[in-house]
């Protein structure tokens, strides 16, 4: 199979193919810092999370959070995260996986303890409720220049987000337009986007250099498989980096190792014709 055209374009040339300010910024950072690595900071205290971010910040284009697992979450934490995102030049992706009707998700996004829209550049949603979820989130996020990605596939074994579901998710994004929805969580670049010629960002979790999976269904592939073979743009790594034994320096070094692997896979991909 010939490579998907988008996978042959450098990140720098794809910036102009986006109108959403967060999508542009992601591609600009990737190009500037030579990184397609997102670190998923799945630790349970604010201090630990900020510590991991300080260690990996220089190596990443994106930090992914699950704000609802942080026991002592406060808006001071999110303010510090925003400060670090400016100093260390990365985008904040809150992995909220919204999955309700438009009215409810707009409140979950803007209100409550977390006020996600006030600090997260990017968030994500399941397509299962239908297009109202995009409308609800966009009323809050779009005026702030935020962006949304949809979960088209998942990395876990037995996921129901396959085949027709994946295709319909893609169609839902196409129908919504690319002002707010800028891409997908997926395991590979979705073939059908050849037909509309649009540049969607593909972010892939389930990336690990050591383990092949965990005991709860997670499945890992290498950066080479994800970026090189499957044509994804951003690799999302959690435990493979923050869970490494050996202290602060080890986490920093491991982030660099993944950054280099991801970037090498991208550079090799650009050479394929
Ligand atoms: O399909 C998915 C989608 C997501 S966003 N599979 C995933 O694993 N994720 C998230 O990526 C998951 O919630 C976790 O935060 C991260 C993977 O973590 P790791 O420790 O397995 O690398």
Residue 134 domain-assigned? Answer: yes
- In a 10 Å sphere around its CB, with 0-12 CB exposed, 13-18 middle and 19+ buried, how is residue 143 labelled? exposed
Instruction: Note the maximum CA span of the chain.
Output: 50
User: pLDDT truncated to tens, each residue of the chain (273 aa)?
Assistant: 567 778 889 999 999 999 999 999 999 999 999 999 999 999 999 999 999 999 999 999 999 999 999 999 999 999 999 999 999 999 999 999 999 999 999 999 999 999 999 999 999 999 999 999 999 999 999 999 999 999 999 999 999 999 999 999 999 999 999 999 999 999 998 665 655 678 999 999 999 999 999 999 999 999 999 999 999 999 999 999 999 998 889 999 999 999 999 999 999 999 986
Residue 264 domain-assigned? Answer: no
Residue 262 domain-assigned? Answer: no
Residue 269 domain-assigned? Answer: no
Please give the distance, rounded to the nearest whole angstrom, from the Cα atom of residue 86 to the centre of ligand 1.
24
Distance (Å, whole) CA 186 – CA 131? 18
Q: Answer yes or no: is the C-beta of 154 below 6 A from any ligand 1 atom.
A: yes
Residue 268 domain-assigned? Answer: no
Distance (Å, whole) CA 48 – CA 34? 26
Distance (Å, whole) CA 30 – CA 32? 6
Catalytic residue among 97, 135, 174, 224: 97
How many domains, the chain?
1
Q: Answer yes or no: is the C-beta of 42 below 6 A from any ligand 1 atom.
A: yes
Distance (Å, whole) CA 239 – CA 233? 20
CB 270 within 8 A of CB 10: yes
Domain of 252 in residue numbering reads as 5-257
* pTM of the predicted protein model: 0.97
We report the CATH number of the domain holding residue 192 as 3.20.20.70
DSSP state of 225: I
Q: Answer yes or no: is the C-beta of 238 below 6 A from any ligand 1 atom.
A: yes
Decide if 97 is catalytic.
Answer: yes
Residue 265 domain-assigned? Answer: no
Q: Answer yes or no: is the C-beta of 166 below 6 A from any ligand 1 atom.
A: no
Please give the distance, rounded to the nearest whole angstrom, from the Cα atom of residue 150 to the centre of ligand 1.
14
Distance (Å, whole) CA 2 – CA 31? 25
Distance (Å, whole) CA 246 – CA 193? 43
Residue 270 domain-assigned? Answer: no
Residue 99 domain-assigned? Answer: yes
């Amino acid at each position: 199979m010939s490579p998907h055209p988008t996978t042959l374009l450098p990140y720098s040339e794809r910036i102009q193919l986006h109108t959403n300010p967060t999508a542009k910024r992601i591609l600009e950072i990737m190009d500037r810092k030579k990184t397609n690595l997102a670190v998923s900071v799945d630790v349970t205290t604010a201090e630990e999370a900020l510590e991991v971010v300080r260690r990996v910040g220089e190596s990443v284009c994106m930090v992914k959070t699950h704000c609802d697992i942080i026991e002592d979450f406060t808006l001071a934490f999110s303010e510090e995260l925003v400060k670090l995102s400016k100093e260390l030049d990365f985008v904040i992706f809150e992995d909220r996986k919204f999955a309700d009707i438009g009215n409810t998700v707009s409140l979950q996004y803007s209100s409550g303890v977390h006020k996600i829209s006030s600090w997260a550049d990017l968030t994500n949603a399941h397509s299962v409720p239908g297009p109202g979820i995009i409308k609800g989130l966009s009323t809050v996020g779009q005026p702030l220049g935020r962006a949304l990605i949809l979960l088209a596939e998942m990395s876990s074994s037995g996921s129901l987000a396959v085949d027709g579901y994946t295709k319909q998710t893609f169609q839902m994004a196409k129908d919504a337009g690319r002002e707010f929805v800028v891409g997908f969580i997926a395991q590979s670049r979705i073939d059908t986007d050849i037909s509309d010629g649009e540049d969607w960002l593909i972010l892939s979790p389930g990336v690990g250099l050591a383990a092949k999976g965990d005991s709860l269904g997670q499945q890992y592939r290498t950066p080479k498989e994800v970026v090189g073979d499957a044509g994804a743009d951003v690799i999302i790594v959690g435990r493979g980096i923050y869970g490494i034994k050996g202290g602060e320096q080890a986490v920093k070094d491991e982030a660099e190792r993944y950054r280099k692997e991801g970037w090498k896979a991208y550079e090799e991909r650009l050479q394929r014709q």
